[in-house]
Chain A
Amino acid sequence: MVAPPCLPANEIAAVHARWRADLPPLFAADADALLARISPPRWALEWSLPRWLGDALSVEPAHSSELVLANVYGLAYIRIQDDLLDGDAPPAERVTAGRLSDALYPAWLAVYRRLLGSEPAFWARFEQYLAQWRQATLASTQPMPTSLRAFTAADFATLGQRGAPLKVCAAAACILAQRQEWLPPIEAILDELLVAAVLLDHAVDWRADLAAGRANAFVAYAAAQPQTGARRGANRLAVLNELAAGATGRPYFALIHSRLAVAAGQAEALGLMALAHYIAWLGGQARTLSRNLSYTTRQWLRRATSELLPGVA
């Protein structure tokens, strides 16, 4: 995988040092393990977005560094909450995970209190984004529309709002820079990007989601049937049939690209070039995944058919 655009190594190391200093030593081993899982090249956007926005808005560099730290604390907290809800945390680790998230949440808020005090414009947005995340998380436990064609704009928006906490750093940067008029267009860019990113994740994770009984947009696209326990086997076959004999997901990936194109265009129009470059990188990842899927499928079927039908195929 080509590495995404990201913060320089020294900035990442600085966050690592603060993470270790700020979190209780009691959880050091678990905290370090979590930090290793969420550090670049993974989570490149989550680490880098505050710096990219801060630079574009002329936020003091030291404040942008604090926003990076806050983002890492906050999104690590969100990740643990999501894992606990999805049942992805093994039972033996749940208590520790809960305690770690209990330590991360106040550390997250403490950064913003240092930078913004009780600024109502910020905290109102903070609560709004967390409410969006909670709503989207609840919606993820409910049935999604049967087919992707039945998705409304609100359904796609709800998908993307699993990542709504990412927007907190945008609100903070805009308010620190005293350029709040930038926030609505930045929110719009992130909303498009988040929808595309979630759709891409669903294409990557469809098997695990199906096995775990989690609603998945790629399954909705390929199977166009209710995603119930009773239909799990049939839906799995429908996705495999789409890959083996259908369009190998091309319309689905076209939808991802259309969203990314909107986000990239808006980012470029605002002069947020670092973010635009990241969006282009993500588009490249989606193209690579789609092409590899098509190529692998074609090559595999060719060999299989030759093996099954020697002499005639």
Chain B
Amino acid sequence: MATLAQMDRLIGRALFDAEFRALLLADPEQAARQLRYRLDGGQIARIRSLDAQALDEIARRFESAIAQPVQSLSFW
């Protein structure tokens, strides 16, 4: 069974890597194996039920969340 951190990495990778996302949605076990993780049956079923739109929405919100403006430190 993949740990919480490993599940986060799977989803994180699927947000902005189109190839990996397609693989994750089509074949979660194979995608997990790429990262040397193992999924249990429940995790596989749940990932299979994801849709690309939900991931798109999460990706959009992630980009907004982590791209907070930071004050530049100097004149360069």
Contacts and interface: CB of A to CB of B under 8 A. Distances in A.
Interface in A240-286: 240-241, 243-245, 282, 285
28 contacts: A78-B75, A241-B13, A241-B17, A244-B12, A244-B62, A245-B15, A245-B16, A245-B17, A289-B70, A297-B66, A298-B8, A300-B65, A301-B62, A304-B58, A305-B7, A305-B8, A305-B11, A308-B54, A308-B58, A309-B43, A309-B47, A309-B50, A311-B46, A312-B7, A312-B43, A312-B46, A313-B7, A313-B11
Contact-residue size bin, chain B (C-beta under 8 Å from the other chain): 20 to 34
A240 B65 CA distance: 11
Contacts of A1: 71
Interface stretch (A12-20, A114-122, A200-208): A200-208
Interface of A: 1, 38, 42-43, 45-46, 75, 78-79, 82, 162-163, 194, 197-198, 200-201, 204-205, 207, 237-238, 240-241, 243-245, 282, 285, 289, 293, 296-298, 300-302, 304-305, 307-309, 311-313
A298 B6 CA distance: 11
Please report whether the interface of chain A is mostly helix, strand, loop or mixed according to DSSP. Answer: helix
A289 to B, nearest CB: 7
Contacts of A296: 65-66
Contact of B16 (A82, A162, A197, A244): A244
Interface string B36-72: 0000001100110010001100110111011100111
Please report whether the interface of chain B is mostly helix, strand, loop or mixed according to DSSP. Answer: helix
B17 to A, nearest CB: 5
Contacts of A45: 74
